[in-house]
Amino acid sequence: MDRYQTDLVRHLSQFLTETRWQLFQEILARRTRYITVGLEDIYQPQNASAVLRTCDCTGIQDIHIIENTNHYSINPDVTLGSEKWITLHYHNQQKENTTKAIGELKKRGYRIVATSPRIEGSTPESFDLEKGRAAFLFGAELNGLSERALELADEYIRIPMAGFTGSYNISVSAAIILYHIRKQLEASSIDWRIGEEEGTGILLQWLRRSIRRVGLIEKEFKKNYQANF
């Protein structure tokens, strides 16, 4: 583990109240990277922001933003600051970013689970978490996931419905699926928690976003740290 980073986290933690620092550690203990979320071409700020809030509430640390045609924008009135506590990964360097984003997720050990009301697959209750890490992909509001995303998916998940309407709103779909998956995760024997080294990096991210004039504090700490080693 990077000793400097560990010592920096310890130093910065002094600038929080004891209650706040304890809350950071309690929330980190429930964070996971066993599950991640991919959002492909979401364009309505309210929906985009609601999904971020759901991910924070269900303890999912990483969200992958795939931009092909639409720019992903955040509505702070909906997120209520949740974007400060999660890690956003943007995939937007090419004209078509879905293929590369899915490839990167697979290299990280994730199986790609496409959400679609039109394809038979698991339900949130029957999904098998024991098979390994999972990246749940959600698509644009009107048409859902692209054909490319559906083609590259390893598995599919759908929410059974009993009405005339063909699908839930994307933010509602994400909330339903992730709530059920979270419950299963906590009831399982899977080692889903974030490791110590990665956890230190997340704590540093949270501290930097919580402390006023943190850049100056870090600069002074680094100067003193280098002088002592």
**214 pLDDT exceeds 80?**
yes
Q: Tokens standing for 105?
A: 């997720």
Count of structural domains, the chain? 2
**24 or 160, higher pLDDT:** 24
- Whether the full predicted model's pTM is greater than 0.85, yes or no, is yes
pLDDT at 176: 96
The DSSP code for 193 is: B
Confidence bin at 71 (pLDDT 50/70/90)? confident
73 vs 97 pLDDT, higher one: 97
The H or E element that residue 37 is part of is strand 35-40
Q: Name the pLDDT band for 155 (thresholds 50, 70, 90).
A: very high
3-state helix, strand, coil in the chain (%, to 5): 50, 15, 35
Provide the pLDDT confidence category of residue 47 given band limits of 50, 70 and 90: confident
> Do 139 and 101 share a structural domain?
yes
Claim to verify: residue 184 and residue 75 sit in the same structural domain: yes
pLDDT band at 1 (very low <50, low <70, confident <90, very high): low
Residue predicted with more confidence, 44 or 13: 13
- Do 226 and 149 belong to one domain? no
DSSP state letter for 15:
G
Give CA–CA dist 153/140, Å, rounded.
16
What's the CA angle centered on 196, arms 216 and 219, to 5 degrees? 10
Looking at the structure, tell me whether residues 47 and 150 fall in a common domain.
Answer: yes
User: 183 and 156 in one domain?
Assistant: yes
Q: Are residues 66 and 166 in the same domain?
A: yes
Q: CA 110 to CA 107: how far, in whole Å? A: 7
Q: Tens digit of pLDDT for each residue in 9-27? A: 999 999 999 999 999 999 9
User: Are residues 22 and 52 located together in one domain of the fold?
Assistant: no
pLDDT of residue 123: 95
Say yes or no: 69 and 169 in one domain. Answer: yes
The predicted model gives 105-123 an average pLDDT of: 94
Domain holding 167: CATH number? 3.40.1280.10
% of the chain residues with pLDDT over 70: 100
Long-range contacts formed by 182-191: CB under 8 A, 24+ apart: 182/35, 182/58, 182/59, 184/127, 184/129, 185/32, 185/34, 185/35, 185/129, 188/129, 188/130, 190/34, 190/129, 190/130, 191/34
Asked if 67 and 113 sit in the same domain, the reply is yes
Alpha-carbon dihedral 57, 58, 62, 66, rounded to 10 degrees:
-90
**216 plus 123 within the same structural domain:** no
Backbone angles phi, psi at 67, to 5 degrees: -110, 120
Same-domain pairing of 70 and 135: yes
Helix (H, G, I), strand (E, B) or coil at 59: coil
Residues of the domain holding 8: 1-31+196-229
To the nearest whole number, what is the mean pLDDT of the chain?
Answer: 93
pLDDT at res. 28: 98
- For 182-210, how does the pLDDT look when each residue is reduced to its tens digit (9 = 90+)? 999 999 999 999 999 999 999 999 999 99
The answer on 98 and 129 residing in a single domain is: yes
